Amino acid sequence: MTRWMIGPMAALAVGCAQGAPLDGDSSGTLGTTAATAMPTSTEPTTGTGPTTEPGETTTTSTTDGETLATATETSTSTTDSEPTVLGEYYPFDAVHSPITADIAAALDAIAAKGVKTDGVFAKVGGSSTASTNFMHCLADAMQIMELPVELQPTVDYFNATAAGPGATSFSRASLAAMAGWGAADVLAPLANEVTEILPRFALVLLGTAELEVPPPDGVFNFADNLVSVVDTLIAGGTIPILSTMPNRTMPAGIDVYVPRYNAFVRALAQGRKIPLIDLNLVLAGLPGFGLAADGVDLSVALAGDMVTPTPCAFGFSGTTSGYNRRNLATVEALARVKPVVVDGAAPPDATAPLLMGAGTLDEPIVIPGLPFVDMRSTADSPSDAIDSYAGACMTMGEDGPEFVYELNITEATSIRALVFDQGTVDVDLHLMTQTDAATCVKRADRELEGPLQPGTYYLAVDTLGTATPGEFAIVVLSEG
């Protein structure tokens, strides 16, 4: 069975790309020059660490060489005390997120919110989730070929309980899954599906439809709706198992947005302490990213007649097909979470990577590598030290609490940072070259991007004016 592993994060390092310079623009809109997404690798890569010594400075330049700012390497903390441990972090080099004692406790707390049927899960999503190629074959022993022996008890368990007339969770046609649906579309049908089958778990893959909404609104609308889907499930005692979306190659150029959506999915899973399947990572090394010829749907292995789909062929013939790999990864996820939640078994993972830092100017949260995600609440922040920013930002009225992150760049790279909030919560992003608000070089309401030279930078997520402090998610990507 595939397990998550602690591995080195991808280094903050790619060639400097053409992009909107960090020029202090406070519009929060995308730059005029498109950035290109980094290809996803199934192998973890390591970083070399900062290239400057403490106190040494490096310059930030535009692509034409104009100096914008000076980045100074500083220590993470100004004290000799032990660094603050914020919590567990979902690594990017693992198919399955960790389930430690802390996360297991969070899952148990969700299960305690409502009476549900332990042997039932719901399927929530769009085309690839509604497809009969997803999971249906696991209800028929004759269609299952070369399933890893350790996964058979999980299949047997979920086949032992009905999920509606004449169906198990595997074979049920879900009311909450339909071709073309996005996160907003599933909300009403989801309530009906949950009422009808009382699922203990829910397999959730959304976002593919929202990719077609022009940026930047698409990803932010998706985030709002996905939070509603997940929190609706949690409130009723159903444990969501989130999945990143596959790549998408049609229409041309749409794939550049996939990492932004998937990063928010990861942030939400990590923030809610629920399981995550990195399906994008599973499919990244497959021919055509595990996609069918249309560049949207998943591919599926075919029988010897080259016509009959065999999505539950898990031997050699299924190793290069999208649905086959998704089905296997999904059973693995169920096999990890079911014993913990249903049987009270010990969690499968003793440890997980940790985020370090308090989020203050004196002790920023250290970003371990790019891509990076985090989710927390400014209402819980220990810091309210910055009320205005100077430098290139010259902004007033950031009167509420903030969280500060430390970003170490080892090679010239173009970054994209996004911050998500909801309702009356209003937070802004500020990029500084030192732990000093006078060194702010870029501010944005939702999104900032542009090239950075090697050095240490600081991202502050700060509450605007009299807005209500509250929950936010931050995403930082390398797009060069």
C-beta separation of 205 from 135 below 8 A: no
Q: Is residue 199 part of a domain?
A: yes
Cβ-based neighbour number of residue 146 at 10 Å: 12
Q: Is residue 17 part of a domain?
A: no
- The number of beta carbons lying within 10 Å of the beta carbon of residue 403 is 27
Domain end among 317, 341, 365: 341
pTM of the model: 0.85
Task: Tokens for 264, please give them.
Answer: 């928010």
Does residue 238 sit in the same domain as residue 321?
Answer: yes
Instruction: With CA atoms as reference, report the closest residue to 94 among 46, 45, 42.
Output: 42
CATH number at residue 454: 2.60.120.380
State whether 218 and 129 are in the same domain: yes
Residue 79 covered by a domain: yes
229 neighbors 263 (Cβ within 8 angstroms):
no
Q: Sorting pLDDT into bands at 50, 70 and 90, what band is 80? A: low
Q: Which amino acid is at 296?
A: V
Q: Is the pLDDT of residue 369 over 50?
A: yes
Same domain, 137 and 65: no
Answer yes or no: are the C-beta atoms of 471 and 52 closer than 8 Å: no
Indicate whether 270 pLDDT > 80.
yes
Mean pLDDT of the chain: 86
The answer to whether residue 95 sits within a structural domain is no
Q: Find where tokens 């997120």 sit.
A: 97
Largest CA distance in the chain: 69
Give the model's confidence band at 466: pLDDT under 50 very low, under 70 low, under 90 confident, else very high.
confident
Query: Does 313 share its domain with 392?
Result: no
**DSSP code of residue 313:** B
User: What pLDDT sits at residue 317?
Assistant: 76
Number of domains in the chain: 2
Q: Print the domain residue range for 358.
A: 57-86+354-478
How many residues appear in the chain? 480
User: Which segments of 196-303 are extended strands (E)?
Assistant: 199-205, 239-243, 276-277
Whether residue 286 sits in one domain with residue 370: no
Query: For residue 49, what pLDDT is reported?
Result: 34
Determine the pLDDT at residue 187: 94
Judge whether 420 lies within some domain: yes
- Name the residue with higher pLDDT: 270 or 24: 270
> Residue 5's pLDDT is what?
35
Q: Which of 281, 309, 341 is the last residue of a domain?
A: 341
Last residue of a domain, one of 294, 310, 341: 341
Say yes or no: 282 and 394 in one domain: no
Same domain, 365 and 318: no
* pLDDT for residue 27: 32
Does residue 380 share a domain with residue 306?
Answer: no
Ranking 182-186, 214-218, 376-380, 428-432 by mean pLDDT, the lowest is 214-218
Whether 69 and 108 map to the same domain: the answer is: no
pLDDT (0 to 100) of residue 9: 35
User: What pLDDT shows up at residue 71?
Assistant: 55
Query: What CATH number should be reported for the domain holding residue 298?
Result: 3.40.50.1110
Q: Is residue 275 part of a domain?
A: yes
Compute the average pLDDT of residues 256-280. Answer: 98
Task: Please give the full DSSP string across 227-248, using - where no structure is assigned.
Answer: HHHHHHHHHTT-EEEEEPPPP-
Q: Averaged over 282-289, what is the pLDDT?
A: 94
Q: Is 374 left (phi over 0), alpha (psi -120 to 50) or beta?
A: beta
Mean pLDDT of 265-269: 98
Task: For residue 284, tell me if it sits in a domain.
Answer: yes
Answer yes or no: are the C-beta atoms of 137 and 148 closer than 8 Å: no
Residue, of 21 and 307, whose pLDDT is higher: 307
Question: Quick check: 223 and 264 in contact, CB under 8 A?
Answer: yes
Q: Kindly state whether residues 214 and 281 are assigned to the same domain.
A: yes
φ/ψ of 15, rounded to 5, equals -65, 145
Q: 214 in a domain, yes or no? A: yes
When mean pLDDT is compared across 34-38, 122-126, 319-323, the lowest value belongs to 34-38
